[in-house]
Structure 1
């Protein structure tokens, strides 16, 4: 399917869903999890795929790098 922002997914004939990120496999869903993913994908596909693979920013990376404990 679409990979405009890096994520894409392929629905296989056996019901398996393979999620890719920039062409590499980021996750494989089977059975009930695949069905749940396909039901949820209609809202915002990129956000849903990022959330399901755990590959999304939480917004605190810059703040954490500037913390005194992380300055080295």
Structure 2
């Protein structure tokens, strides 16, 4: 798994999630909401998280689900 995260960015735990009452899942990157999962997509996501054994795996799943939203030219605040 270290081949995937060569720069060890996932060790900083930039991704988080929150489950709403209606079973929607809100995904966050550095505290900012980047995606919402609903219905079947949310159920698949939660099933994958239940299979994860360690925090690094959870971060990798979150990174893959959020998709390619960063382009490298974002400002740091």
TM tier, shorter chain?
0.5 to 0.7
| TM-score of the two chains, using structure 2 as the length reference | 0.63
Q: In structure 1, the residue corresponding to 2:18 is in which secondary structure?
A: strand
Paired position in structure 1 for 2:18: 10
Structure 1 residue 9, shift from structure 2 partner: 0.2
Structure showing greater Rg: 1
Paired position in structure 2 for 1:21: 29
Paired position in structure 2 for 1:46: 59
Structure 1 residue 55, shift from structure 2 partner: 4.4
Aligned residues: 53
Query: Unaligned 5+ residue runs, structure 1?
Result: 57-72
Structure 1 residue 26, shift from structure 2 partner: 1.4
| TM-score of the two chains, using structure 1 as the length reference | 0.67
Q: For the residues of structure 1 that align with 2:17 and 2:68, how far apart are their CA atoms?
A: 14
Structure possessing the higher relative contact order (Cα contacts under 8 Å, 6 or more residues apart): 2
Deviation beyond 3 Å, 4+ runs, structure 1:
none
Q: In structure 1, the residue corresponding to 2:13 is in which secondary structure?
A: coil
